Structure formats: structure tokens, C-alpha cells
Amino acid sequence: MRAHHVNDILYTAEQIGERVGGLGDELAAAFGGQDFIAVGILRGSFMFMADLLRAGAARGLHPRIDFIGLESYGDGTESAGEVKLVYDTSLDLEGARLLLIDDILDTGLSLARARRLLAARGAASVHTCVMLDKPSRRQTGIRADFTGFRVDDVFVVGYGLDYAGLHRELPHLSRVVFED
């Protein structure tokens, strides 16, 4: 692991909370009164997903919840290009409306793979929601249906995102600055 610091805050906990509330409003408009399943991509989405679903509950949304685990970064700062399924969903997705939730849409490889996988299981629809969108690194044509913030091409940690397993617990989003 490279020497680094995470003192450069991009979005504070307050800014994140405000935007997650706005996403709750958007989801209520899109899903209000309908059954759906929220599927989080582990591990990065766990903080965002929890806050997002609480915001949705305050607006009358009560989805079933499931998770899928994908891995593409390992301990590095670049996607390996291969997305591995490391944990699978447990709910029957046949005919269900899905909201696929992820921490960051970067290359698009993970979100595209997850969406294809869930659609192939017979989901009626698969909508996507991401906390961060980094369009400058996209390698696929995928776009999120709901987005928290756009970020430049920087490595981001906090609020569920990590570098080599570190910094997920931060309540804010920070840019990683490498010290070499």
C-alpha cells in the first residue's frame, strides 16, 4: 500500500445528508406506491444504501432488501478489468422491479455486470442509483438513473468507499492524496 493521506474533503457529511435526502425525493417520485427490491453492491454501498433507504422510508418507500458482492479493485487504485461475483442475492427476482445501488460509477464494469446479471434472472426492470459518478473513466455505455454527485478523476474514499480496505468508516468523502 502506498503512503497517502485523506485530508482533502470533497463532500462533508452534511452535504451528503442533504443530497441523500434529495435522492429520497427522486426515488419516492419514481417508485412511490410500488413494490420493489433494493439490491446493494457490497461492500462500498453499505453506508449510502442504509441512508438512502432510511430517506426513502421517511417518504413512504418500503422495499425488500438484498445484496450482491462484486470485486474488481482488490488492494489497488485501478480496476483490474475483471469483475468477480463474490456474494449473490438470495431473493427471487423474477418479475421484480429492482433498484441497484452502488457507491461509485467509475469504469462502469461492475454496475453493468450487476445489471446484466439481475436482468438475466427475470427482473421486470433494473434501475440504478449511485452516490458518485466519475464519467471521465467510463469504459461502458452505462449511465445511472439516479446520481448523488459527479466527481473528477480522483481516487475517493469514505462513506463506504475504501483504499485497500481502509477509510470506509469516514462520514465524508475525501480525495486520496498519494505521498510518493
Question: Annotated catalytic sites, by residue?
Answer: 106
Q: Describe the crossing of helices 46-57 and 13-31 by its angle, rounded to 10 degrees.
A: 60
114 sits in which H/E element:
helix 109-120
Which ranges in the chain belong to alpha helices (H)? 13-31, 46-57, 109-120
Cell numbers found for residue 142 = 452505462
**Which residues are CB-neighbours of 54 under 8 A, at least 6 positions away?**
none
Residue-level length of the chain: 180
